[in-house]
Amino acid sequence: MKSFKNAVNKGYYGIETDIRMTKDGKFVLSHDDSLSRVFGVDMKVSKNNLDELKKVTNGEIVTLEEFLEFMSSQKEIPYIELKSMASSDYPNVKENVESFLNILSQYHYVSKTDNSLSCYVISFYEEYIDVIREKDKNICIDLISSSKNIDINYLLDNDLGLDWKLSCANSSTVKNLMNKGVSVDLWVVNNKYDASKVIDWGVRTITTDEYYF
């Protein structure tokens, strides 16, 4: 949670994180399925229960509920990337995505209403996006892409934004997408030159690992 608190203190617009499903159907924050890179433990999120993951990380692995509790208390905007929405004991992706949406709703992070908080759900996987859009017509969803070939009709038909890899983007394509009503975030923008350049293109947001912007 320390990195999230640092980002809040820096005044960033939003905070991005990734979620995966544990063996017993809980959601935890983890970029990788394996805990080896961050925690030095050779265990997979998808093959272990939450209490086991909490134990081997000394409680440091964060659940979706813990993250949303913090974000809502700070009135911050979460960008939640759906990495893996199934496990060996919970293989039904549609049901799992619906469970995810139910958790968001508990923290008022679903449909835009007078009492709701802003939230972006992002994913590479159209399967996840289609289930979410079917259930909620208003929640902000971005398709993540590392391809230069973008299906703009899919984005427009489903009212999606685009989280696009910086190396795939250029000024004319970004401006064309924005003019047609597709909001664009670019990732990962980790130097001031690139940040200044893409802001001039008119992007909605940039995703960065750095604190100095």
Report pLDDT digits (tens) over 49-97: 999 999 999 999 999 999 999 999 998 999 999 999 999 899 999 999 9
Residue 9's contacts (CB-CB under 8 Å, 6 or more residues apart) are none
Q: Domain limits at 96?
A: 1-121
Question: Does a structural domain hold residue 131?
Answer: no
| Model confidence, pTM | 0.94
Spatial contact of 139 and 110, defined as CB atoms under 8 Å apart: yes
Q: Give CA–CA dist 81/155, Å, rounded.
A: 17
Q: Which residue has the tokens 């892409």?
A: 145
Q: How many domains does the chain fold into?
A: 2
| Predicted local distance difference test score (pLDDT) of residue 26 | 97
Furthest C-alpha separation in the chain: 50
Q: Which among 16, 28, 5, 12 is positioned nearest to 163, based on CA atoms?
A: 16
pLDDT at 115: 56
28 and 95, same domain (yes or no): yes
Dihedral sign for Cα 85, 186, 77, 178, please.
negative
Give me the CATH number covering residue 6.
Answer: 3.20.20.190
Report the distance separating Cα 108 and Cα 116, nearest Å.
5
pLDDT band at 10 (very low <50, low <70, confident <90, very high): confident
What pLDDT was estimated at residue 27?
98
pLDDT tens string 120-178: 999 999 999 999 999 988 899 999 999 999 999 999 999 999 999 999 999 999 999 99
pLDDT of residue 11: 85
Tell whether 84 is covered by a domain: yes
